[in-house]
Structure 1
């Protein structure tokens, strides 16, 4: 994996930032993206402004952003080897309260963002006859929680899970591996945005009786990025969340 070029969306905070930190430390070239330029600059500085990383602010729901990310990767590092579609939004809202604007937001950022950015990188991966794409989904696609109403974002994430399998089928002949990481409850700023003051209170949702840490998602992403014989899979990094609960 050394010197491979990695594009990471949603890399200014939380899981995305931790993934960027992990790959940079492994001597990969990293292109960081976020829609919030201020947060992105801050994250880059907090990562010590590494010479093997660059950043580009842009809204991934716009197809042009994916193209700009690819162009920057090629300009700075000559290849596009891995794409990690981490950017996304998520919040609970009762089904009967969901409005069209809610659906539009989740489908635009979560699904279209993943779709468009992937469209931008695959032509380069076809030229190389090699590449890895890692999408970020959620265990809630396969293991719903009645007390956590989130049909709008979960529908968009479910579409990403399905997209993963279809892309793996279409581009396996080009040696492009496509997989999904489905996190459980991970310690990140997302919990605060959803109004969860104590993320550790949700530990019982996992058999290991603790919530996950962002670096554990980064480790899984690195494994999938370096694997040559895993594709079309959804890897649950969730402490047993989909198997049972430790309540």
Structure 2
């Protein structure tokens, strides 16, 4: 199940050890995919590539600034030169900021959207041509429980808005490219056990846990497993959907 042998997967934001990108890259590699570790963090890129190599997987690293169209186009060119195809794109790169609307600036709003939405758009647009030529593609976008329930722990209204925009964008694109053999889906994680979560003050952390019926944060592997499914052949008839992974903190 979820066999990804010889598939080429680009995972943005997979150089950081603080979020879930590295786990996503390792999980897809474990299913046989060739991984492109795309991140702005040079040192982190190499750490993820080395981690994949240590498990017998194949990976290359590409420095990427998702907010730069030139950087994104260069990344795609490098991947096509290295592997000749792009089968899977996981738009994981994202940033957050805890600030009230009253204190928020237009620069704050622009910065969050530039990475979380505009960067996702640039990466997605850039892979559509090679995916269409293949007649095959899997695009998985990272949204958030904050997009659906109106905020959370780490982000302000601009973060929630950017992640809600990801959902709407993904559904529209799914309709556009469905007949091309390309699926477009989202995962919307809730609280996840990352270094970011661990840095929270404990009283605040405990209050967040109280709002989760399962009584714990999710693990990065639990998010990555859902992404591996959506990236697989088995998910071939699923498009325009989002999978909520939040321990019951939000239920549609």
Question: What's the TM-score, normalizing by structure 2?
Answer: 0.90
**Residue 60 (structure 1) aligned with residue 58 (structure 2):** no
1:74 pairs with 80, 83, 86, which one?
80
Equivalent position of 1:104 in the other structure: 110
Cα distance in structure 1, aligned partners of 2:164 and 2:126? 22
Equivalent position of 2:249 in the other structure: 241
Cα 1:101–1:73 change in 2 (3 A) is same
- How far residue 75 of structure 1 moved from its aligned partner, in angstroms, is 1.7
Equivalent position of 1:16 in the other structure: 21
Of 137-146 and 108-117, more deviation after overlay is shown by 137-146
| SS of 2:231 mapped into structure 1 | helix
Equivalent position of 2:192 in the other structure: 186
2:214 pairs with 208, 212, 229, which one?
208
Cα 1:149–1:46 change in 2 (3 A) is closer
**Residue 30 (structure 1) aligned with residue 35 (structure 2):** yes
- How far residue 180 of structure 1 moved from its aligned partner, in angstroms, is 0.7
Tell me if the contact between 1:73 and 1:80 (Cα under 8 Å) persists in the aligned partners. Answer: yes
- How far residue 196 of structure 1 moved from its aligned partner, in angstroms, is 1.3
Aligned positions, number:
242
- How far residue 91 of structure 1 moved from its aligned partner, in angstroms, is 2.1
- Consecutive unaligned residues of structure 1, counting only runs of 5 or more, are none
Cα distance in structure 1, aligned partners of 2:72 and 2:241? 24
2:146 pairs with 140, 150, 169, which one?
140
2:121 pairs with 101, 112, 115, which one?
115
Equivalent position of 2:200 in the other structure: 196
- Consecutive unaligned residues of structure 2, counting only runs of 5 or more, are none
Of 149-158 and 90-99, more deviation after overlay is shown by 149-158
Cα distance in structure 2, aligned partners of 1:26 and 1:133? 17
Let me know the Cα RMSD of the aligned residues. 2.0
Tell me if the contact between 1:40 and 1:55 (Cα under 8 Å) persists in the aligned partners. Answer: yes
Question: What's the TM-score, normalizing by structure 1?
Answer: 0.91
- How far residue 191 of structure 1 moved from its aligned partner, in angstroms, is 2.7
